[in-house]
Amino acid sequence: TIVVNYPSTSAVPQPPTGPTEPAAPSTSSGSSSSHSPTPPPVIKPKTLDVALSIDDSALSSQDIMTSLTSETGLNTQINITYNPKTASKAARSLVFKVNALSDAVRINFPMTALQAGMTLKVITPIGSYNVPITALRLGSVHLGIRETDSKNIQIEVLIKKLDESSLQKYANDKTVFPIPVVDFRMTASNGKNIVLLDNFMRYVERIVELPTGIEKEKLTAVAIIKKGDTLLPVPFRLENSEGKQVVAIARVSKDLYALFTTQKIAPQLENHWSKPAMSKMIDSMVIPEFNGEAGSPAHILTRGEFAETALRAMGIDSDVPYKNAFVDVNSNYEYSGAIQVLYDLGIVQGTGDGQFSPYDPVTREAAIRILMRLAAYYDLMAVLPKKNKWLADFVDGDDVSDWAKEDVLSAVDFEIVIGDGQGNLAPKGNLVLAEAAQMLKNILKKSGLSS
């Protein structure tokens, strides 16, 4: 642990204890017409407990500088600068651990401190960040700052606690916001331009401590997007860390994050085989709340509806401009953004002749293909446990279309789909909402993105 002691001559700003008023003008006695300003309060030395390690080996205090600042609207912020004196050998992890309490932690270090295959971990009382370096788009093309020398690029990580008042418009008698909103942010800079690292190639985890007394079965994690106007469900899992219950939120984009508890009532799900999966997806805002046929477990999903549902379950924002990817989808179509996202990722190519057929029912094999290709794109396949299942194990395994066989086989092997209980996959049958909910729940759980 590197403990930084401020000398007694250094004034370290402290968090305000409450509202303050402007000081009254000072008055002087005697014949002097001038008066001295009121001296600043004496600030006691401050100790910050900050640990920095590479592969569990603590680094020298010569490599790190810390300070504590106070800003308007932000009580206290811990600032950490890491300047490695020598190039480190191949390492698996770079870990910053801050034990001191504050409202924000800001860390700066050169991009050369990051290595391929490494995981960057920032651990603070506010929240923690686990970032696989392979998830970052650090090439000069992605950074867009025209910098060929990586030594000149600085990385900044910010973890900041925000006021949760921005969420109150979503609150109701079934919704409670048990923790503050947390902003997790990374940027890259060459000294002139700053680029926000807001899109990742793999899922990145943000971890926050769960307060005691929370009904975990009602918990939902959300990203706050579009300047606070929209809540997007994000995958999360519960786990224990150093004797504390924490929530690991996984997403491939940068946003503000919060947790809340809610439980919607879907009486028509009683005694239905899909109740656990459907209830979870309804509570998590992935699928519509029970309101007529659209929320029924027997509702046949269209291709457009499944595109949107799959992205929401995976925590991927679909609110993007439509660029005319298909001739039969226009920008006014409700799910055009979802279709554009899947097209841009190379997940879908359409049904032929430049069409997507958004209003047609989605078949099981088409839905499986979309889901498994999403998992492959974000590198989830490596963590899925195989069960050595084969299409030949099913009565109608030969009915799977050639273009879908590889993805359906993966879904069977990982038990994302298990058939109808009678040995059938019915790959060309229409997918209903109950089946979609179960597939989505299975892949989130088996990949470790969700509890």
pLDDT at 170: 62
pLDDT at 35: 44
Structure tokens at 123: 């651990």
Structure tokens at 306: 């499944």
246 and 207 Cβ atoms separated by less than 8 Å: yes
Which residues does residue 94 pair with via DSSP β-bridges, in sequence order?
54, 120
CA dihedral angle for residue 442, residue 445, residue 447, residue 448, rounded to 10 degrees: 180
What does the pLDDT look like over 177-224, one tens digit per residue? 666 788 999 999 888 888 888 888 899 999 998 877 777 777 888 887
> What is the distance between the alpha carbons of residues 319 and 337, in angstroms, rounded to a whole number?
5
pLDDT at 306: 96
Low-confidence spans in the chain with pLDDT less than 70: 1-48, 60-62, 71-74, 86-89, 140-150, 164-179, 226-229, 263-265, 288-294, 451
Which residues does residue 176 pair with via DSSP β-bridges, in sequence order?
261
Query: Residue 177 burial by CB count (10 A; 0-12/13-18/19+): exposed, middle or buried?
Result: middle
pLDDT at 177: 65
pLDDT at 230: 77
pLDDT at 36: 44
pLDDT at 15: 35
Q: Which residue has the tokens 């055009």?
A: 336
pLDDT at 11: 34
Residue 263 CB neighbours (<10 A): 14
> What is the distance between the alpha carbons of residues 135 and 54, in angstroms, rounded to a whole number?
19
What does the pLDDT look like over 253-283, one tens digit per residue? 887 888 877 766 677 788 899 988 988 888 8
Q: Which residues contact 311 (CB under 8 A, 6 or more apart)?
A: 317, 318, 338, 341, 342
CA 251 to chain centre: 3
SS3 353: coil
